[in-house]
């Protein structure tokens, strides 16, 4: 299990896929998470918009003998960052640049992925110490945006999220993304389809190497 922030970031860079879970409750979130892990994903994120999402994080993170890494999504402030870290999250994700989330996340050893939509926001996130930057919503920006931003911010470790599918993930990775985040394309039809689609995504990544 990764312990330090740099280990978490290296695991994300290596696996190149973060499975994002938004569910109606903790039981559904755990089922989806376990299904994606059974399909081959090793990194999953439970959005805190999930009712009692911290409980889902706690359950998923307690079973770490298979090398999984569990994170929290939609972490908007320091209070949520602290709660997620206490629940066992190893990385924290926000849809926006959330300075207090970054500070508190680092204080408790979590890697942080604030969200950005413009080069200005990406630059600001990096100045605040973002370990990785979530580019969101990626489906509205396209892989060309990642390529163009990387031309001027070659040091920016970008993680496009939103609208990522097995069909387009290679385009984002080829454009210079270090990883992608994907949710509804995996989880919209329940655990068993999530397991199958996770396997397809993992294979799509492996086929590029």
What residues are labeled active site?
A: 45, 134
What integer best gives the mean pLDDT of the chain? 95
The share of the chain scoring above pLDDT 90, in percent, equals 92
Q: Is residue 115 scored above 70 in pLDDT?
A: yes
The share of the chain scoring above pLDDT 70, in percent, equals 99
Query: pLDDT, tens digit, for every residue of 44-79?
Result: 999 999 999 999 999 999 987 889 999 999 999 999
Three-state DSSP at 59 gives helix
182 φ, ψ (degrees, to nearest 5): -140, 135
First to last CA, the chain: 24
Is this prediction's pTM over 0.85?
yes
Distance CA 81, CA 97 (A): 13
Q: Break the chain into its structural domains and give their ranges.
A: 5-208
Extract the tokens encoding 151: 């031309």
Query: pLDDT, tens digit, for every residue of 84-114?
Result: 999 999 999 999 999 999 999 999 999 999 9
**Beta strands 133-135 and 111-113, pairing class:** unpaired
Three-state DSSP at 112 gives strand
Q: Is residue 2 scored above 80 in pLDDT?
A: no
Options 3.10.129.10, 3.30.360.10, 3.40.109.10, 3.20.20.70; CATH for 5-208 is 3.20.20.70
Query: pLDDT, tens digit, for every residue of 17-44?
Result: 999 999 999 999 999 999 999 999 999 9
**Beta strands 17-21 and 180-182, pairing class:** parallel
| Cβ 57 vs Cβ 86: under 8 Å | no
């Amino acid at each position: 299990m990764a312990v330090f922030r740099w280990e978490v970031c290296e695991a994300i860079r290596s696996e190149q896929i973060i499975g994002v879970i938004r569910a109606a409750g903790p039981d559904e979130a755990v089922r989806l998470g376990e299904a994606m892990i059974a399909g081959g994903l090793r990194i999953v994120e439970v959005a805190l918009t999930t009712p009692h999402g911290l409980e889902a994080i706690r359950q998923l993170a307690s079973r770490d003998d298979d090398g999984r890494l569990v994170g929290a999504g939609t972490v908007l402030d320091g209070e949520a960052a602290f709660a997620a870290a206490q629940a066992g999250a190893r990385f924290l994700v926000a849809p926006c640049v959330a300075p207090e989330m970054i500070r508190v996340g680092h204080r408790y050893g979590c890697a942080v992925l604030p969200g950005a939509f413009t080069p200005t926001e990406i630059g600001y996130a990096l100045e605040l110490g973002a370990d990785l930057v979530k580019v969101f919503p990626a489906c509205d920006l396209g892989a060309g945006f990642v390529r163009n931003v990387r031309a001027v911010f070659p040091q920016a470790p970008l993680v496009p999220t939103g609208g990522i599918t097995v069909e387009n993930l290679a385009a984002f990775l080829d454009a210079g993304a270090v990883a992608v985040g994907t949710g509804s394309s995996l989880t919209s039809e329940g655990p068993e389809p999530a397991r199958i689609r996770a396997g397809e995504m993992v294979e799509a990544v492996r086929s590029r190497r």
